[in-house]
A and B are shown apart, each in its own frame.
Chain A
Amino acid sequence: QVQLVESGGGVVQPGRSLRLSCAASGFTFSNYAMHWVRQAPGKGLEWVAVIWNDGSNKYYSDSVKGRFTISRDNSKNTLYLQMNSLRAEDTAVYYCVRGHGYFEDWGQGTLVTVSS
């Protein structure tokens, strides 16, 4: 079965950086586009970024463009999100998600809290 396990969340000060990871198993990772989707506490869902199956294309929401970088290592079946210049409004649960245009399979999420 598909498993997506996020890690790397925690408490970080504004302006600092954090890198999230997502370990994938149960499917051929290199065949699928992968996304990060986030959810602020008590709020709705917000798409963050997508990366093509081969890493050739990446797209970002305006709210993170220029600060976050999505990447993947298909040899390690792992997805990453490098988050720089973090702001309080980036506080959220970050989900790793498999899918092309729809979000088919989700990890359990990792909480990122940006606070001084």
Chain B
Amino acid sequence: EIVLTQSPVTVSLSPGERATLSCRASQGVTTYLAWYQQKPGQAPRLLIYDASTRASGIPARFSGSGSGTDFTLTISSLEPEDFAVYYCQQRNNWPPFTFGPGTRVDI
């Protein structure tokens, strides 16, 4: 099973600042990695897939990069609605599909 590790656990930032979230895989997943955003009381939402492709309707301030074992989600300038929990997920080696434990972006 591929284990995903996310860092930091929590990051405190202000609107307008840049957020850089990390996801590391226990073994290579090529670029088969996605990022999701989850707000309290809501279902997760797909942001990025194949490491760097934005899902439909996702603003350009969200970008993803990386390959192999190290990946980054960048939010270039935080909007108030971006404060949420972010999860990474791999589909390179399944079952199981696995998620990281999440990074909380706090104000």
Contacts and interface: CB of A to CB of B under 8 A. Distances in A.
Interface of A: 35, 44-47, 50, 59-62, 95, 101-109
Main secondary structure of the interface of B (DSSP, over half): loop
Contacts of B94: 59, 101
B91 interface: yes
Interface residues of B toward A: which range?
20 to 34
The 10 closest A-B pairs by CB, nearest first: A101-B91, A106-B43, A47-B97, A59-B95, A45-B99, A102-B49, A102-B34, A61-B96, A44-B101, A44-B102
B44 A106 contact: yes
Contact of B96 (A47, A95, A102): A47
Interface of B: 32, 34, 36, 38, 43-46, 49, 55, 87, 89, 91, 94-102
B43 A95 contact: yes
